[in-house]
Amino acid sequence: MTWVVDFFIILILIVGIRLFRTPKGARRGNQMAAVALALAVVAVVVRNPILSPEIVLIAFLLGSAVGLWVAMKVSMLNIPAMVAFQHGAGGVAAFLVAFLELTRHAEFLTTTGRVSGYLGLIIGAATFSGSIVASGKLAGYIRQPPIFLPKHNPVLLANTLIIAVLAVVAWNTLPAVTPYYLAVLILLAVVLGVVFSIRIGGADMPVLISFLNATAGLAAAFVGIIIGNRLLIAGGATVASSGSVLTHVMLKAMNRSLATTFMGIKIGSGPSGPPADPSVVGFPIPLRTDVGEEGGEGETKVEESEPEDPFTEAVRVLKEARSVIFAPGFGMAMAQAQFKLVELANRLRDAGKEVRYAIHPLAGRMPGHMHVLLAEAEVPSSELFDIKEINEEFKETDVALVVGACDVVNPAALDQEGTPISGMPILMVQESGRVIICNLDEKPGYSGVENPLYENNRAVLLFGDAQGTVEKLLEQVTFD
């Protein structure tokens, strides 16, 4: 009857995951998934006798304490780096279990079990090192732009072939020698993960995170096969499939293929829309000169004043706007500006203005990161719109307010070929009546591509710390 218990636990896990589809259900879904995993641990402990319970208990308490400490200390800004590290931890667990099973009693394993063991060992070790590289890039310990080795693709291919040959040799060696071959195999797989991940830049990091999520699950599923654990197979397969779906979604958002992203091709898939028009006429809010009129016998006299200070202009533009779309980016997260931004949005809404948030799938550093950051600031889910839902609305919007975003609003992606972001869909903020940019400086984003939006005559540039900038706007955008 063990399969009935396993089926019940897997069902709870699937139902919990299904609840992740809505922000309100995500908390309950997370709790259900945690219950399912706890039941799985209990089932494994009950079915398998523990020879050294004191060691298991010490490991359990130590791991729980470290996990709790990390969960309490980490901020939302560092969640992507922590998630990447956790993928690496899953890879370590997979290749260690596979190593033990292949060295303890490989002669009693079925062919399917041995194949799964080798795959779990190789994929787990590569996932570990690749995840550590990703975590280091996300945390700023490793240079975030792509790092290309000489003959990068040939090195990657040669490493893969050597791993395959060594795995065959290890399969056919004597049991006493096998551990040494497996240790070398792990080392080569670790090198493979580093070489594979090191050339993924900041703009493609969500794709890498999703892919490593899938490989961590795949390694766990293979280990589940070698030890004959249905729960581990199901859990690993669920993670692998969800990670694969996320990878597809991220690649689609980038408008490129898996091979283009991971084979290190620097040229994007080409422009995916009309070139950005630097001067759209008919916008509802005047440009940077105040205009006064004096009428007399059918004659109009126009007087222009000196250009406004950018900050004064931004305040005026927001006060005069009827509709505002916020376009947040990772810079907002780094500056922790989301709370002040929401206060500003609430004030504009209370003044009768339409307020919405445009979310690019690559605006954070992992899938859904920006949604979670804004949910933390209590933004209603009804005001969050993905790129496909909101892009057509920019041309009808008075003001687009960009906060800490560069690559995801860079018109160069539409009309410049041969850049890391060429062909990537962007938030079409340049089509709004006016654009207010609250970025740290005018330097390019992670892609290294200059943003022509900064030279648009309808853009108001407020460079500096995003939190300070938005807080200053909040102080001055008042409605009596």
Looking at residue 145, the DSSP 8-state letter turns out to be S
* Residue 469, helix vs strand vs coil: helix
Residue type, 108: F
Distance CA 200, CA 208 (A): 7
Distance CA 113, CA 56 (A): 25
* Residue 357, helix vs strand vs coil: strand
Report residue 295 as tokens. Answer: 């009428």
By DSSP bridging, strand 399-403 and strand 459-461 are unpaired
Residue type, 299: E
Distance CA 232, CA 234 (A): 5
By DSSP bridging, strand 299-304 and strand 399-403 are unpaired
Inter-CA distances, 361 with 109, 246, 380, 448, Å: 44, 11, 18, 19
On whether the CB atoms of residues 449 and 419 are closer than 8 A, the answer is yes
Inter-CA distances, 139 with 1, 85, 281, 333, Å: 47, 10, 43, 13
On whether the CB atoms of residues 28 and 15 are closer than 8 A, the answer is no
Q: Which of 407, 415, 441, 480 is catalytic?
A: 407
Q: Which of 474, 257, 256, 246 shows the shortest CA–CA distance to 367?
A: 246
- Helix locations, 48-78, DSSP H: 53-73
Report residue 328 as tokens. Answer: 């947040």
Residue type, 424: M
Phi/psi of residue 86, nearest 5 degrees: -65, -35
Distance CA 54, CA 56 (A): 5
Q: How many residues appear in the chain?
A: 480
Looking at residue 216, the DSSP 8-state letter turns out to be H
Our answer to whether residue 465 is catalytic in this structure is no
> What is the residue whose two structure tokens read 């990772």?
330
Q: Which of 135, 75, 69, 134 shows the shortest CA–CA distance to 338?
A: 75
Q: Which residues are catalytically annotated?
A: 407
